[in-house]
Every structure is written in structure tokens, then in C-alpha cells.
Amino acid sequence: MSETTTISVGGMTCTGCSGNVSSALSSLAEVTSAEVSHETGLAVVEHSGADRESLVRAILASGYSVDGEELPFDWSDGSVWRQSAHNTKWCLVGCSIGDFGTIAAFQFIPYLDALGWSTMSIMLLAMFNGIMTSIALETIILSAQMALNEAFRVAIGMSLISMISMEATMNIVDVVLTGGAKLTWWVIPPMLIAGFLAPWPYNYWRLKKYGVACH
């Protein structure tokens, strides 16, 4: 006989979150359907005799809370570390194109150098251009799988926290090591390493908790 159980779920912020909870519930053999809404924070589950505890465990295991209870966050998932590293790498590629290109332009083009921009101004422009090229690269990559407007919508949904922390770290390393907005052969590797490491734990957390990649 079919039964319906409604559970209040905490921590959902988007349709991806509600999809994660729905998938976790639907994986249980007794569950016939799971309607989950991040807007209402409710999961309406139709099932054939599943006990509420098993439904709650499935929700908790997917990274969300029930009645304020949640599982301790797991920082030891190797597969998520690898996937988040892959995502962070592609974000770094996109950000570096605009960032390095901007710094190089002010360093090697006499007209731009003569403008006399401060180091801070060049770095802020480099950060902005880095974010823009990362979004452009992601749009191009996704356009092979979906319509261009949809690819752009997904691209601008990338994590700004990840990109800003990446950009800020790279530029801080550049200023500390060179004393200004400069590119040399030896400063690029530490900039890239720092730019990768800074957002990587955040990208792991985001992917592990919400199933959402930074890139």
C-alpha cells in the first residue's frame, strides 16, 4: 500500500540541491516517487512501507539536514578531491588567460605602460578580465553540448567565490614576488600553484555538500 511522508529539509539553495535530495530518496527500493522543492524546503515522498528513519538517513547522506540534524562533513573523499581538482584546473586555465594577458599588455605595450596606471588598478583589471575569459572559455566548452544561450547561462553560474579567490591569490603572489604587476618566467609557476590551491578546498566543499562544480 502506498504511503506519503513529508520531510522538512534544510540546506537546499537551488534546483541542483533539490535534485540531489530527490535522487538520494529515489535510490531507496521502497520509494516510488520523491517531489523535492528547495523553495519550500519540503520533500514529499511516496513509498511502500519505508520507515521515516531510512528516508532521513538518505537525506543526511546526500549532504543536507533534517530538523537541524546533519552528518559531520567528510573531507576524506578522494574521488571528490580529484573531481574538484579537475574543475579547479579548468577554472585556472580560463582565469589565467585574461589575467596574464592584461599584466603582459601593460608591461610590454608602450602605450599602455605610458598611461601610468597603479599596480592596484592593473591587478583589478587583470582580475576582472580573468573572470571574463574563464566565463568565455566555459561557454565555448559547453556550447558543444547545448545551445549557446544556455551554455552562457550555465557559465555565468560558476562560483564567483572560487574565481575571485583564485584571481586575488595569483595577483598577490605576483606583487609580493616581483614588487608590482610584472610577469617573468619564474613568477608564473608560483602564481599558478597558489591560484590553484586557494579555491580548491572551497570547490571540494561545494561539490561534496551540494553536488555543484565550480566550473
Q: What is the mean pLDDT of residues 45-69?
A: 85
Whether this model's pTM surpasses 0.75: no
Q: What pLDDT is recorded for position 156? A: 72
pLDDT tier, 191 (very low <50, low <70, confident <90, very high otherwise): very high
Fold topology of 3-66: Alpha-Beta Plaits (3.30.70)
Distance CA 170, CA 68 (A): 38
| Cβ-based neighbour number of residue 147 at 10 Å | 10
Q: Where are the domains of the chain?
A: 3-66, 78-210
The tally of CA atoms less than 13 A away on the side-chain side of residue 192 is 15
Burial (0-12, 13-18, 19+ Cβ within 10 Å), 203:
buried
Query: In the numeric block, which cell numbers belong to residue 177?
Result: 614576488
Question: What are the residues whose beta carbons fall under 8 Å from the beta carbon of 186, sequence distance 6 or more?
Answer: none
